[in-house]
A and B are shown apart, each in its own frame.
Chain A
Amino acid sequence: MKAFANVNPRDLKDAVRKLGQPNAVPVGGGSDLLGMVKEHLVEPDVLVHLKAVKGADVISWHSPARGLFIGGLVTLAELSSVALVRKNYAVLAEAAESVGTPQIRNVGTLAGNICQRPWCWYYRNGFPCFKAGGKQCFSITGENQFHAIFGGGPSFIVHPSDTAPALVALDAQISITGPSGTRQVPAAKFFALPRVDPARENVLAKDEIVAAVRLPDAKPNTRSTYHKILDREAWTHAVVSVAVVLEMNQQVCNRASVVLGGVAPVPWPLPKVEALLAGQRITPELAARAGEVALEGANPLAKNAYKVPLTKAVVRRTILELATKA
């Protein structure tokens, strides 16, 4: 590995200050970042070790108005096991539980998971692509079986995070701390398409960090789930995933939130599906219709057309199973 200095910030403000040093990068659990440093995809001089910050790894409930506070350094293992999260925000707990392996979840953080760089094999193998600061996406004419069917261009990566679609579906707010203080950004606006900046996947500035995530109070009769398709039974990123939140009134869905993962460079919300479901009784037919509507506008590449029927089935089944479960 290239030589670098590890620095332990006292608090978030200090972390931001330390990030201001030349060629400094933040690190949470480190699983992904260290691999990238070993592959020379990232060549930092300074690692700002966020886990040294005290109190950045707490989950706390304040009031219905303020909702649930989740520190950015909360681990995925913690997130998937805390009863409050499992009960009221199952989609997030399940998403966290679907990441990597127990060893990764024991150190991996929520902030790190949503800020994870793409796992496109061209990027990870050192091709000079958009994500590496280049001017090309090699997947377009190459091996694109795991690439985007929505929102692609000029880069066709898919966003690698499992918790990201869950956060968007839950209308989470992302707390971002930077040199001038903390700002709140809705999760849906945190992630940015490649046409905004093809080298990046979100709106974080270089010296900003994800400090926390806030989830709005869970409405009564809300149920949620995360369904992930993997290419072996563990430790792959989502081929396709869906985060679904349903506010139910008996058999009728008052409000739905449906967000896809693994199909676009950002978590991909499905407003038309949400509109279709709102105020309706969820029947097998309606769920099937939701699957069809979900894939409107899909634009597959040469080798990922299978994601279209796959995603339809995942959307249909997940919505129906969630709506009809006892």
Chain B
Amino acid sequence: MGKISRRRFVEGTGAGLVATTVPLKGQTAARKAAGVPRTTIKVTVNGTKHTVEVEDRWTLAEVLRDHLGLTGSKIGCDRGECGACTVLLDGKNVYSCSQLAVWADGRTIQTVEGLAQNGKLDPLQEAFIQHDGPQCGFCTSGQLMSAKALLNRNPHPNADEVRHAMTGNICRCGNYNHYVESVLAAAGTLSADARRKA
């Protein structure tokens, strides 16, 4: 094991990290299969306007992840059953695995990558860190986006409102208690702890 202790090795980036920095254009210029219908769409994602040529069959999740490099949204089931792919479409939380990208033409999308503003974490993100919301973390982006949709329309929810608003987001690690706690903390309503446990 002597070799791995070398400083340069420690500083070097693992191949995993290298892989993420591969220019994404290669994929966008991927093979255009004969006879597969394509459409050029315009979408605003996290405040940035994109013009993308997509296959009509591509889901929004696919385009965000594979073609815009926004891999924060995860695909857990690809069937609208788990919520890991949740993004905000014109402010409403939707399963991006169950929307075609072409349907998002002209619309505004917010993903987990768009939560922090000017390098400052969203209060929800801070609370998720403080209260240990994520375990494996795979559902976390979706949980955050459903929470964000809730707080946008109801800044001070109670625990029951949080559970209803986030019930489309499965956490198999089962950390629902901590997710609810996190959202209440971000909303400043956690102090009513007795109510949470009621």
Is there any pair of Cβ atoms, one from A and one from B, under 8 angstroms apart in the complex? yes
Q: How far apart are the CA atoms of A261 and B78 in the complex, in Å? A: 28
B56 A34 Cβ-Cβ under 8 A:
no
Q: Does A326 contact B (CB under 8 A)?
A: no
How big is the A interface, by class? Answer: 20 to 34
Q: Does A77 contact B (CB under 8 A)?
A: yes
A234 B98 Cβ-Cβ under 8 A:
no
Known contacts: A103-B80, A235-B168. The answer to whether A5 contacts B56 by CB under 8 A is yes
Q: Which of B37, B39, B86 gathers the greatest number of chain A CB atoms within 10 Å?
A: B37
Q: How far apart are the CA atoms of A122 and B35 in the complex, in Å? A: 33
Q: Does A227 contact B (CB under 8 A)?
A: no
- By DSSP majority rule, is chain A's interface helix, strand, loop, or mixed? mixed
Q: Does A184 contact B (CB under 8 A)?
A: no
Q: Which residues of A contact B (CB under 8 A)?
A: 1-6, 30-31, 34-35, 38, 47, 49, 51, 77, 100-104, 106-107, 233-235
Residues of B within 8 A of A234 (CB): 167-168
- By DSSP majority rule, is chain B's interface helix, strand, loop, or mixed? mixed
Per-residue CB contact flags for chain B residues 143-166 toward chain A (1 = under 8 Å, else 0) read 000100100000000000000111
Q: Find A49's partner among B79, B89, B98, B103 (CB 8 Å cutoff).
A: B103
CB distance from B169 to the nearest CB of A (A): 8
Residues of A within 8 A of B92 (CB): 77, 106-107
Q: How far apart are the CA atoms of A299 and B74 in the complex, in Å? A: 45
Q: Which residue of B lies closest to A52 (CB)?
A: B103
CB distance from B38 to the nearest CB of A (A): 9
Q: Which residue of B lies closest to A234 (CB)?
A: B167
CB distance from A174 to the nearest CB of B (A): 25
Q: How far apart are the CA atoms of A104 and B166 in the complex, in Å? A: 12
A101 B167 Cβ-Cβ under 8 A:
yes
Q: Does B99 contact A (CB under 8 A)?
A: yes
Q: Which of A49, A77, A102 gathers the greatest number of chain B CB atoms within 10 Å?
A: A102
A107 B56 Cβ-Cβ under 8 A:
no
